Amino acid sequence: MAYLFTSESVSEGHPDKIADQISDALIDNFLAFDAESKVACETLVTTGQVILAGEVKSNTYLDVQNIAREVIRKIGYTKSEYMFEANSCGILSAIHEQSADINQGVDRASKEEQGAGDQGMMFGYATNETENYMPLALDLSHALLIELANLRRENNEIKYLRPDAKSQVTLEYSDDNKPQRIDAIVISTQHDDFDEEATMLAKIKTDLVGILIPRIKAKYPQYAHLFNDQITYHINPTGKFVIGGPHGDTGLTGRKIIVDTYGGKGAHGGGAFSGKDPSKVDRSAAYATRHIAKNLVAAGICDEILVQVSYAIGVAKPTSINVVTYGTSKVNLTDGEISKKVEAIFDMRPYFIEQRLKLRNPIYSETAAYGHMGRTPKTVTKTFSAPGGLTKTVEVELFTWEKLDFVDTVKSAFGL
């Protein structure tokens, strides 16, 4: 029997995502000037206020207030009527030095034996239902908000948009787990004030269905066949949405972990990513398991896969590696046997994850909105500034865990 599945996304202007982006901007700046920095930075945003807290072990000093303001400005909180504005918001820093008790479990005389920065389990997932091996409902949810942000910045076809927004897409799947059509789309977008609420709601719905949706279909032609005249649209279903962003809802780092990963498909170990340097396996091992999952599906091992890894704090070797192929395996091996081959191909000790995926680079700001997975790998040049006029320009690879660079190795190991 056909069934429905739903995923959601939130925009870069959502309060929780503002917090994530500030935390990851701090990570990037620390790593740019000291690649061995150990950082765990949490951010809270609310009406007119930003609070930074966390632990750092680094040889560099940063103007954290200026970094936070730059992030807020780039997102688009630049008007006083938003009640949260880049130049005027108060910023309190309560960042202190990392616990020596934690650090002794991570640093080792031999870098290869670097211990895991925490205990826990991490998951990576991939499916061949999209070109980027991501769940389709989440991919569409992200796409809607990326294009909505483009419309906001263009300030041309739609002039009343504000930074805060959420989306949700419900897909109908066939009995054989193939997406057939879009059943429902939910979009709530913050907007400027209107004189009359009924007029406002009608215009926003007309604009989003008549301008945003056609742009999505044109930009992502591979999804155009999923759109139909029977889609149920819920556009700003609560009505007026003028009060938004941190003035409407307090934001915290790490509260959008399902948006950040697979939209409810697969599984999640519970650990957030943003604000954590790669010694924290919550982040690095989640990227590594996604890398494994994507390369296995791309190599033709299976149509869908979930990869789990787990660690003990301070211990380099994982306590377990497990693979689930949901009955879609194309090779004559059990999931347990596939797990053993994965363990032999991919060294999952933290140091080797960092090296394989080049994680000790300032590559994290770009991950902090619209998902950490399913993104396009690319090389960019970034420039960072520190107090005293010090600047540093670096060329880095973004989203290395999305590279299909182990497909041939996987095929060879599985005799394909």
Binding site feature residues for K(+): 42
Strands 49-57 and 179-191: unpaired
Give me the phi and psi of 269, to 5 degrees please: -80, -10
Residues in the annotated binding site for Mg(2+) = 16
Instruction: Convert 133-153 to b/e letters by CB count within 10 Å (16 or more is b).
Output: bbbbbbbbbbbbbbbbbebbe
Residues in the annotated binding site for ATP = 14, 164-166, 240-241, 249, 255-256, 272, 276
Which amino acid is residue 265, in one-letter code? K
Residues in the annotated binding site for L-methionine = 55, 98, 249, 280
Residues in the annotated binding site = 14, 16, 42, 55, 98, 164-166, 240-241, 249, 255-256, 272, 276, 280
Strand order in the sheet with 232-235: 3-10, 161-173, 179-191, 232-235
Specify which residues 186 forms β-bridges with.
168, 234
**What secondary structure does DSSP assign to 47-90, as a single string?**
TTEEEEEEEEE-S----HHHHHHHHHHHHT---GGGT--TTTSE
Query: What token pair was written down for 409?
Result: 């190795």
Nearest Cα neighbor of 284 from 346, 360, 342, 366 is: 360
